[in-house]
Amino acid sequence: MARARATLRDVAERCDVHLSTVSRVLNNKKGYAVSEEVADRIRRTAAELGYKTNPFAYSLRVNRSFTVGVLIPDLSNPIFPPIIRGIEHRLEQSGYTAILGDTDNRVEEERRIVERLKARQTDGLILATAHRADDLIRSCIDEGYHVVLINRSLDDDAVASVVNDDGAGIAMAVRHLLDQGHRKIAHIAGPQEISTGFRRYLAFMEAMQKEGLDPDEDLIAFCHNYSEKEGWAALRGLFEREKPFTAVVAANDLLALGCYDAIIEAGLSCPEDISVTGYNDMPFSDKFKPPLTTVHIPLHKMGEEAASAMLKLIEQTPDKTRQHRVTPHLVVRGSTARCNGPR
C-alpha cells in the first residue's frame, strides 16, 4: 500500500529546522533545551501534516518491534478470547500490539508458529499453549526471548507464569459433590503432560482421599487433549467398565460438554442420573443444557497479568514474582444435583 506519509524531513523542511531537532521535540527528549517557540511550530506542523513515526524505520533503529507474540492452541475454545482481550488491553496501554499464533491443537505446528513469530521479531512470547513443549520454551529463553506462560508452569519455575490455583478449584468441585451426597465420583482427567491436567488430577485424588474416599482407578479416565470429543470418548469408556458412579469431575468445560453427550448416548440424563462439573467457567457455560456447574477463573485478568509480566520483562522492570496466582471460585448451576442413591 503506497500511501505518502509525512516524514520527519517533511516536517523539518516546513519548519526550516534540522530534522534531528524535530525528532527531539516530537519525542520530547530532555536535556536538549529547544526554544518553546520552535518546539511549538514543530508540533503544530507535525499535526498538520499528520506525521506518524514510521514503525519500520523506528523498529529498525531501536531493534524492537513493540509487538508480542501470543501462542494459543485453539481460538475456538471460548476461554481464549477473554484471555486474549486481557492481554491486548494491557499491551495497548503501553503501545504494544499482540500478534496471535494459533496451533490448531497440533503440537507439530507449535514450533513452526513460534518460528514465524520470532521471524516477525516479536519482543516477547506469551504462551497459552495447552501442549507441553518444554524444550521449545527452554530454547526460546536460551535465545534470550522473554517468555510468559499462561495457565501452565515449568516444574522449576524458571519462567514467569500466570496460573490459577487448580488445587483449590478442584477441591471446591469435589467438596460440592460430596455435600450433595455423592460418593462414587469419577474424574475425566486432562492430558497429563499439561500442568493443568496433571495438577487437577492430583488435586482430585487428594480431595477424595481427604474425605477418606479412595478414588477408584476404574473411575478415572485420561484425555489426550481438551476437547468435547475426548470428553465424550473418555466417559463412554467409563460406562463400559460398568462400575457405578453418580458424578463426574471433568478437568475442563469442554470435557464436561463431551460428558453431556456420552450421558445422553447412554440413555441417562444430567443431573438426574449423573452430576457433572467443569472447569474454567467459559463463556456460555451458563447457557448449556443443562447449565454447567463449574469452577470460575478470571480469564480476562489472567490475560492482563500475563501482559503486565511481559511488559516488565521487556522493560526490565525488576520483578521477583515468577508465579502470578489467581483465585478460582465455584459456580453452582444446573449440572449438579443431590445424589439419588447408587447407580
Question: Which residues make up the interface to DNA (CB under 7 A)?
Answer: 5, 7-9, 17-21, 23-24, 26-27, 29, 32-35, 38, 51, 53-54, 57-58, 60-63
Give the nearest distance from C-beta 48 to DNA in angstroms: 15
- Considering only 19-27, 78-86, 152-160, 241-249, which stretch makes contact with its own copies by CB under 8 A? 78-86
d(CA 91, CA 327): 23
Supply angle C-alpha 234, 237, 243, rounded to 5: 120
For position 60 contacting its own copies by CB under 8 A, the verdict is yes
DSSP label of 317: -
Entry field: residues in the chain: 343
Torsion of CA 91, 93, 94, 97, to 10 degrees: 40
**Given candidates 47, 75, 158, 264, which one binds its own copies under the rule CB under 8 A?**
75
| Backbone torsions φ then ψ of 289, nearest 5 degrees | -115, 105
Instruction: Report d(CA 21, CA 5) in Å as an integer.
Output: 19
Nearer to DNA, 63 or 242 (CB): 63
Closest CA to 292 of 230, 249, 238, 339: 249
26 binds, among DNA, its own copies, none (CB under 5 to 8 A by kind): DNA
**Contacted entry of its own copies, DNA, none for residue 19, CB cut-off 5 to 8 Å set by kind:** DNA
- Residue span 128-147 as binding mask against its own copies, x where in contact by CB under 8 A, dash where not: ---------------xxxx-
End-to-end CA distance of the chain: 67
Query: Closest Cα partner for 311 from 79, 158, 126?
Result: 126
Least gap, CB of 123 to DNA (angstroms): 15
CB of 91: closest distance to DNA in angstroms? 20
SS3 47: helix
Considering the complex, what minimum distance in angstroms separates the CB of residue 46 from DNA? 10
Residue 285 beta carbon to its own copies: minimum distance, rounded to whole angstroms: 9
Q: Which residue has the cell 523542511?
A: 13
**Are the beta carbons of 84 and 72 closer than 8 angstroms?**
yes
Q: Residue 93's binding partner, choosing from its own copies, DNA, none, with beta-carbon cut-off 5 to 8 A by kind?
A: none
Give all strands of the β-sheet with 247-250 in edge-to-edge order.
220-222, 185-189, 247-250, 275-277
We find the least distance from the C-beta atom of residue 269 to its own copies, in angstroms, to be 12
* Residue 76 near its own copies by CB under 8 A: yes
List of residues contacting its own copies (CB under 8 A): 1-3, 52, 54-57, 59-60, 63-65, 75-76, 78, 81-82, 84-85, 88, 92, 97-100, 102, 104, 116, 118-124, 143-146, 257, 260, 283-284, 287-291, 314
